[in-house]
A and B are shown apart, each in its own frame.
Chain A
Amino acid sequence: MPQTQHKIDGIPLYLLIYCLLMALLVSTVIAATFDMGRWNVVAALTIAVLKALLVILFFMHIRHSSRLTWIFAAAAFLWLGLLLGLTMTDYTSRTSPAPNSNAQISLTAAIR
């Protein structure tokens, strides 16, 4: 097992990461001012993932950590993906009857 004391990054590296993070922040704010349709979401989330990776790898030192820590960190996000992904399989494939037939409108009227 690698001992954490042995790997101490220098201050310049931390500053570099910090500058990168700030640059990403600026770029994401700027990107949001353009109307790119659905690509806005993609851009914002991609940048967020990049920032997260920088924080996890360098600030949280996962880069120096054991495989086990990698697995734990990855598992958390994998499970989040499962939750979102499988829930959306339902929502994106729903075919509930559209509330527009005449009779259904009368039904709605009857309820309210």
Chain B
Amino acid sequence: MRTLFHRLFPPQASQGAAQVDHLTLYLLAFSTFFTVLIFALILYFVVRYRRQTPDERPPKISSNLPLEITWIGIPFLLMVVMFVWGSKVYVAAHRPPDDAMEVFVIGKQWMWKVQHPEGRREIDYLHLPLGRPVKLTLTSQDVIHDFSIPAFRIKQDVLPGIYTTEWFVPDRLGKYHLFCDQYCGAKHAEMIGTVEVVEPADYQRWLAGDVSAESPAVAGEKLFVVYGCNTCHGQYGPTLAGLYGRPVDVIDDQGVRRSVVADEAYIRESILYPNAKLVVGYPNRMPSFKSTLSEEQLLDLVQYIKSLSGAAQTAPYVGPPLGPATQPTRAEQKIANPPFASYRTNQ
């Protein structure tokens, strides 16, 4: 029985989840009752009163007031329960407690940007401490999205120009799906992510990962995580190791394919205006960080990416560009590995 339940119901990972499931079970019970009742009656009548002779003429039965009142009254009463109970759950899910931890979420085509209280940010990923009420304040940068976590049995549309909220108390460790549930354009189905519930102490440790008093490259490395660069680069984005100083095959915004050398300006441009030059074989998926990163942070990131090539803090000149034909591998690798293959949670 447990396994059947698990096949039909997603994991319950928040305090509200069980309440929604109980409500569902109530509706399920009486719906099953009515469905079975109707089906059984139909079957019984069809068998019992099937036509015996072609000229059979049944008696006249036109109406029965007590019956009508019964089947108006009983469903009505059942539905009063449904309404009151359903509203209770709903209202509770819309009244966050005052001590809830506040996390900000911005939806944009097609990614989720999350900002934690101490300023730590992540993309398409949401770390949450176990057992603490969390209130999300949601808004969108373009069209309507919907922030849905089935394991928490909650969702909320994310509107441009308006703030909405969603709150819950995660009560089970693990990784869960995060979906965009409101159709938002071409890659609506890819606007997905992971919610990870961790021990509060781990959460604090994770939050603290954001202090930057180090060298630009080290600070850049942190930023690389904070801004979620690592969620793509290293998975379906191009690897940045060894990038600096290397020629890159790109398609520029005129649609022309050419080869450029990845210098500081190129890296900077790639971060600020990812569409300006697309790496061949990769989707146009990288968001612009133009309005998110300060100049200082940009600098740190560029330094970090440079450091991945073993380059020193100052840029050495690395050989003349090689021909475009020398770099087909990433494109091939890309085709063999469709973007959606990495559904990042499979718990």
Contacts and interface: CB of A to CB of B under 8 A. Distances in A.
Q: Is there any pair of Cβ atoms, one from A and one from B, under 8 angstroms apart in the complex?
A: yes
Interface of A: 96-97, 99, 103-104, 107, 110-112
Contact of B141 (A96, A104, A111): A111
A97 B292 CA distance: 23
A103 B165 CA distance: 14
9 contacts: A96-B162, A97-B163, A99-B163, A103-B104, A107-B115, A110-B115, A110-B291, A110-B292, A111-B291
A96 B115 contact: no
Contacts of A103: 102, 104, 117, 137
A101 to B, nearest CB: 8
Contacts of B115: 107, 110
A14 to B, nearest CB: 51
**Interface footprint category on B:** 10 to 19
Contacts of A110: 106, 113, 115, 291-292
B106 A96 contact: no
A58 B196 CA distance: 71
Contacts of A104: 104, 137, 163
Contacts of B165: 97
Nearest to B104: A107
Contacts of B106: 107, 110-111
Interface of B: 102, 104, 106, 113, 115, 117, 137, 139, 141, 162-165, 291-292
Contact of A112 (B104, B117, B162, B291): B291
Given A103-B102, A103-B104, A111 B163 contact: no
A104 B117 CA distance: 11
A31 to B, nearest CB: 36
B163 A96 contact: yes
B139 A111 contact: yes
A97 B137 CA distance: 9
Contacts of B117: 103
A97 B113 CA distance: 19
Given A96-B162, A103-B137, A110-B291, 13 more contacts: A96-B163, A97-B137, A97-B163, A97-B165, A103-B102, A103-B104, A104-B163, A107-B104, A107-B115, A107-B139, A110-B106, A110-B115, A112-B291
A99 B104 CA distance: 13
B287 to A, nearest CB: 12
A104 B113 CA distance: 14
B202 to A, nearest CB: 23
A99 to B, nearest CB: 6
